[in-house]
Amino acid sequence: MILGMSAFVKVWLRERRTSPVWRTSHIIRKDHARRPESASDLGAHDLRAPWRCAMKWGYGMDTPVSERSDVLVFFGATGDLAYKQVFPALQAMVRHSHLDMPVIGVARSMWSDDQLRARARESVTAHGGLDEVAFAKLASLLRYVSVDYTDPASFTRLRQAMDGAQRPLFYLAIPPEAFTDVARHLASSGSAENARIIVEKPFGRDLASARALNATLRRYFAEENIFRIDHYLGKEAVLNLLYFRFANSFLEPMWNNNYIRSVQVTMAEAFGVEGRGAFYEEAGAIRDVIQNHLLQLVALLTMEAPGRGDLDGIRDAKAEAFKAMLPIQREDVVRGQYIGYRDEPRVAPGSTVETFAALRLFLLNQRWAGTPFLIRAGKQLPQTIVEVMVQLKRPPENVFSEGRSGRPNYLRFRVSPTVQIALGARVKAPGEAMVGSEVELLFQEQPSDEMPPYERLLNDAIHGVKTLFAREDNVEEAWRVVDPILGDVVPVLPYEQGTWGPPEANALAVEVGGWRNPMLALGDGRTILPGNPPATTQGDHW
């Protein structure tokens, strides 16, 4: 049974909207009506909030002009990432008055400015829609420079095209193997002075290569000017999880191993590699999403409250969470590959790359010692969904003699495709007997005008705000955690498309009652509770 809370929420909101505290927290979390256009629009009370700069829309808008970047140069302008993410983000930034500087697209192709503008127009039309007014402004800012990443003379021409910019922002939306050449030539051409640089994941392939990459970047750029972008950290739902953790006092007493039995993090995709076979052959599920996206989620779930009010307080707290994570052992991982992967274009006939991975992670600290964190990610699974399930322990005494069947209490955080926070509990069933039934208290949010993560993160980088970017030590600690299970340390097991991975993965979760397979709502409006699917779907074992 689902208990709808809309009526309660409406009454509560009527009372709370008159409160200055509500106005502050509502803006920080999500302003459904409008986004504030400037720092002053937030009100003076918001400026006292300890990490308002990490949470509010348009933070950094009060950055001194001298500290803002004055040109955006993005490498890989003809590539897939630019087409799907960067151009739509740039149009949105123009629409919200967050971009008014020159934008120089860079790639090896011998394109003209008009070809770049045509590509940008095609991109925004296909991804989110064309805004004629905003795009006209964006087109006026766009320029194109052809650069051979190995040719120093190309970078001299790029320097000239920047027209005397004093605080450039370089965005490397290119393969990691090109980072070293580009960083070196930017420095030798004089372009790296006072510049910021954004690099895309993956940040290396293992701990050793991540350390080497970080050392290379630091050779030419100060750490304070290096922005390692993981777009997952810019998602509204991920920020919502962080906010929910520390904005609600009822969580803290129970947010530890005394009350929490296990935590499960699932990232499921109901599709395959979709033409990215060559990339996936080099990555696999562990490198692609677990080492970065999902371990970042675990860090947000397990970190202590930030002890400082500055912008790096959150990243300091996450660093301590990463340091507490123990390296994953071979017996705590199962790798899988969906049947048919080897038939994908540009995939080796005998490939042993995993398209599915399930693992068991432990932290060594007072709060989380002994609590298993079960993480899995895979392609060609039954649903496309990302969800965190926090399973609580059962009450110490069975007061009503109901036995121990049924679900224990839980908190559920859905990250995508919708944003949900839900509490699973037991209530008395109607009638004379003191017996209970299972219910889920559900708050569901479907934002209609959510800020895309690339818009948020590019805007942050322009203003030098690094809170939502991965820091060097956090990246290296995450690689330390997964380093023992990279490659073929355990065999890759086949699984049928449309299932939850190889059956062998079930063994990792036996001690906590099995995996909780997340399910989306059915078309008739009913919601499938975890562990209570209809007969036509695959269930789990509570």
Residue positions annotated with a catalytic role: 293
Q: Which helix (H) or strand (E) holds 119?
A: helix 113-126
Pairing, β 385-392 against β 373-378 = unpaired
Nearest Cα residue to 372 out of 492, 513, 269: 513
Q: For residue 19, what are the CA distances in angstroms to 15, 45, 79, 118, 240?
A: 8, 12, 48, 48, 21
Is residue 459 within 8 A of residue 95, CB to CB? The reply is: no
Nearest residue to 463 (alpha-carbon basis) of 156, 129, 65, 180 = 65
Contact in structure between 70 and 141 (CB atoms under 8 Å): no
- Please say whether the beta carbons of 88 and 95 come within 8 A: no
Omega before 50 cis (within 30°)? no
**∠ CA 6-414-332, rounded to 5°:** 150
Is the distance from CB of 281 to CB of 347 less than 8 angstroms? yes
CA distance 376 to 495: 14
d(CA 22, CA 247): 12
Q: What is the 3-state secondary structure (H, E, C) of 478-530?
A: HHHHHHHHCCCCCCEEEECCCCCCCHHHHHHHHHHCCCCCCCCCCCCCCCCEC
- Reference 309, options 29, 39, 55, 22; nearest CA is 55
Q: Which residues of 281-302 are buried (b: 16+ CB within 10 A; e: fewer)?
A: bebbbbbbbbbbbbbbbbbbbb
Q: Is the peptide bond before 417 cis (omega within 30 degrees of 0)?
A: yes
